[in-house]
Amino acid sequence: MSPDKPTIDPVQLVNLDQLRVIHFPHPVLMAQCGEVTRVDAQLRDWISQMQALVAQNEGLGLAANQVGLPYRIFVTQDEVYINPVVKNMTGGWTEHPEGCLSLPGVYINVKRHKKVKLQAYNLQGEEINVTVSGMKARVVQHEVDHLNGLMFFNRVDPDLYMNLGMVAKIGVLEDDFAKLLASGDYDVQAEMEQQMQLRLARTDWKPDETKSTPDESAEEPAAEEVEVLVP
């Protein structure tokens, strides 16, 4: 989620070596993300890159599929939420303008619940149970929507954002992506295969029963893989 105008290059493709924010209408944004069952060193690095992107773009949050990762993870600058589940929404409704790093230049008033109870896991595999309100509750709802393949304009009456001229701005992004497809520089099939491999890598894991003895002489051992339970 973005509070102000994001500064992102026009068309972005998934780059797993150096994560970057993916723009609508890239198909990864419309796909539901899979629940994570383990956290390894690579995933830790990606999460660190996600948090850096939030800071660089002065954003409020970022979902994993916004950088091309098919996992149920979202981050803020300071927090990581793995396999988040909204357990309860209370306090009535509030309406406020929302932006999105994946839709630069588009801002729409969106109704959200004022208070949200969230269950998730942290990087250590520890369960988190928090109740948040205000802008933080809005960020949680926005990012969880992303993980379910929903954009924030899906929460608004289409006639409303059409009247606000948002369709024209969204249309520019759609035109850019259509040109990319026509150029042959983007292989949709290869992208979908990559997404499937990424999902399988961290969603079907079982603990290894034969663990090697750790090297006690190592000054700084690598971070262990952490099993993450699904809420």
Active site residue 227: no
The amino acid sitting at 128 is I
Closest CA to 66 of 123, 145, 119: 145
Q: Is 62 left (phi over 0), alpha (psi -120 to 50) or beta?
A: beta
Report the half-sphere exposure of 62 (CA within 13 A, side-chain side): 30
**Whole-number Å distance between alpha carbons of 99 and 1:** 6
**Whole-number Å distance between alpha carbons of 130 and 119:** 7
The SS3 assignment for 93 reads strand
Q: Is 91 left (phi over 0), alpha (psi -120 to 50) or beta?
A: left
The pair of three-digit structure tokens given for residue 88, joined into one six-digit string: 């309860």
Which one of 58, 79, 127, 143 is the catalytic residue? Answer: 143
Strand partners, 111: 95
Report phi then psi at 142, rounded to 5: -60, -45
Q: Which residues are catalytic?
A: 143
